[in-house]
Structure 1
């Protein structure tokens, strides 16, 4: 296959599956766009409050698959007796600073101290809205293993996670969780870096998660490319695809999909149910904050794609469902 192979480096930098532009433009040009933007990028009315009834976790999901959306790309996935946490971000800002940068529209609905015991934490890449320096130390005294893209382990170790608990994965690497679940790191079209000087120096990934009864896809961040078709052919069909629909812009078409391309990716992946992620939590783009879901609803109706849209913080059995929480 053309795209399904381990990531390669050119010098210090990892390469995307296809030529890719980060597309930020000049700093002043970007600042001007943000300064003159009139869209409601942050909700005018306060959202929530959203809370999680953590007592629900004492009972396993009837269907074998239940997801709690903490916001953005942070998901507590309960699948066939396992609990997996993806890209946990609880801080009020997705930023290097507690005082500036994109701020959450609502506090994380699930208290970190009320998280049920976890079987694994998956980290897709090192961007601030996916890797939270203030959350990782919470797990330092636990024994939960981390599965992350190559290079991300250095941050986890610096923040208190023992090296033996970290499995760094290249694209196409597989790992088994408790002998019952296989996760495979897969290509994505994105980039990495926690500063302007170390972009592309750690890897970024998507993940296929398979148990005996379920097969799901966590897309993390990616622009559209034909590799989704190969992933669908090799690893699909998927019971549910979790795909980013927010924080898109014409200048970022190579690295973020938006609703239209996410729907195309869902179909290429041979997905049955689609769960939009990476939206409705942080102001990361110039579009109205609720535009991604409104556009997705239009597309799903036109293309006959069932959606899974739970309310933030509510543990929800995975099935066709829309909570309409944003309204």
Structure 2
């Protein structure tokens, strides 16, 4: 089964189904909610510090699949001999300036200069919490191939990545990463833009990553849609689904899932184990910072799901058995 490529209306890409992407008309109501909420959006206790032992990467994972969660949607994925970095954001703020905007709850556990040699970097879309200029500029001289959604390559070139290292991909495109590893782009229900004048002029995507033994799904950002079932039928089953559970809100239900829809997406994708991301790193919504994972644990117990919840910065093998580090519990107030 081949998934269809993205469609456009004029210069703008459009979602697989009609979607309210929370435009300017929602801003007054959202701003008021931010002013009046009593939720602990930012932890009262400082998280971490978390520190990655970079020497771990000198020994390949016994299982063939090891994940280091740098925070939010930034992951170092070791899969069947390949190392793939996703949506790298090392800056302190997910913003167009570093003196204002959402600030990390903890510093990136692994310094950029301690990263092992990479086979690929994946950029799902151009939002600031997934695509950080300073981080890209630091990675650009390292001669790493970048795989990204349509239109995002112009930023990569501007920030120093050589054109021959950039592969822009439409939904359903397949790219080969060395031997015995493929990356396939898949639809998500989201939006794009790094300012108010260029909304949806670049594409947003998820990625199926298939090695010689493991098959995983990096979901990036998406609201719920029935396309997850199509992706599962086309590219599943998946040994591990990596899905967003945070930054949901009643004013933007179409573009972020939250825990319940993430569980439904995992099941539709034919996932064997689920890793929650996009939580516990930035204050991007009105819920408490730990609410997404608390709800997910309740849902997983009811559905008898295998979760994979490693501590930030700790390289951890995903073996298929339920694993919950519970790292956040000691920071809850």
TM-score range, shorter chain: over 0.9
Q: Could you tell me whether the CA contact under 8 Å between 2:149 and 2:204 is conserved in 1?
A: yes
Q: Could you tell me whether the CA contact under 8 Å between 2:41 and 2:283 is conserved in 1?
A: yes
Whether 1:312 aligns to 2:297 is: no
1:104-156 CA distances to partner (integer Å, 9 max, x unpaired)?
Answer: 00000001000000000000000000000010011221111000000110000
Q: Secondary structure at the match of 1:9?
A: strand
List gaps (5 residues or longer) in structure 1: none
- C-alpha displacement at 1:252, in angstroms? 1.3
Question: 2:142 corresponds to which residue?
Answer: 142
Question: 2:220 corresponds to which residue?
Answer: 220
Q: Equivalents in 2 of 1:294, 1:26: separation in Å? A: 28
Q: Could you tell me whether the CA contact under 8 Å between 1:171 and 1:186 is conserved in 2?
A: yes
Matches within 5 A, 1:158-173: 158-173=158-173
> Taking structure 1 as the reference length, what is the TM-score of the superposition?
0.98
1:249-294 CA distances to partner (integer Å, 9 max, x unpaired)?
Answer: 1221110000000000000000000000000000000000000000
Q: Secondary structure at the match of 2:272?
A: strand
Q: Equivalents in 2 of 1:125, 1:145: separation in Å? A: 16
Question: 1:74 corresponds to which residue?
Answer: 74
- C-alpha displacement at 1:162, in angstroms? 0.6
Question: 2:5 corresponds to which residue?
Answer: 6
Q: Equivalents in 1 of 2:138, 2:100: separation in Å? A: 23
Q: Could you tell me whether the CA contact under 8 Å between 2:220 and 2:243 is conserved in 1?
A: yes
Question: 1:265 corresponds to which residue?
Answer: 265
1:78-119 CA distances to partner (integer Å, 9 max, x unpaired)?
Answer: 011100000000010000110111000000000100000000
1:5-44 CA distances to partner (integer Å, 9 max, x unpaired)?
Answer: 0001110000100000012544322211101111000000
Question: 2:188 corresponds to which residue?
Answer: 188
Q: Report the aligned-residue RMSD.
A: 1.0
Q: Could you tell me whether the CA contact under 8 Å between 1:71 and 1:280 is conserved in 2?
A: yes
Q: Secondary structure at the match of 1:180?
A: coil
- C-alpha displacement at 1:197, in angstroms? 1.2
Aligned length: 326
Q: Could you tell me whether the CA contact under 8 Å between 1:4 and 1:227 is conserved in 2?
A: no
1:29-83 CA distances to partner (integer Å, 9 max, x unpaired)?
Answer: 2211101111000000111110000000000000000000000000000011100
Question: 1:17 corresponds to which residue?
Answer: 16
Q: Secondary structure at the match of 1:260?
A: helix
Question: 2:109 corresponds to which residue?
Answer: 109
1:322 to 319, 324, 327: 324
> Taking structure 2 as the reference length, what is the TM-score of the superposition?
0.96
Q: Secondary structure at the match of 2:69?
A: strand
Q: Equivalents in 1 of 2:198, 2:192: separation in Å? A: 8
Q: Secondary structure at the match of 2:96?
A: coil
Q: Could you tell me whether the CA contact under 8 Å between 2:30 and 2:251 is conserved in 1?
A: no
- C-alpha displacement at 1:209, in angstroms? 0.5
Whether 1:211 aligns to 2:211 is: yes
1:205-251 CA distances to partner (integer Å, 9 max, x unpaired)?
Answer: 00000111000000000000000001111111000000000000122
Q: Could you tell me whether the CA contact under 8 Å between 2:173 and 2:185 is conserved in 1?
A: yes
Q: Equivalents in 1 of 2:247, 2:87: separation in Å? A: 17
Q: Equivalents in 2 of 1:129, 1:161: separation in Å? A: 19
Question: 1:293 corresponds to which residue?
Answer: 293
> Runs (4+) of structure 1 moved beyond 4 Å?
none
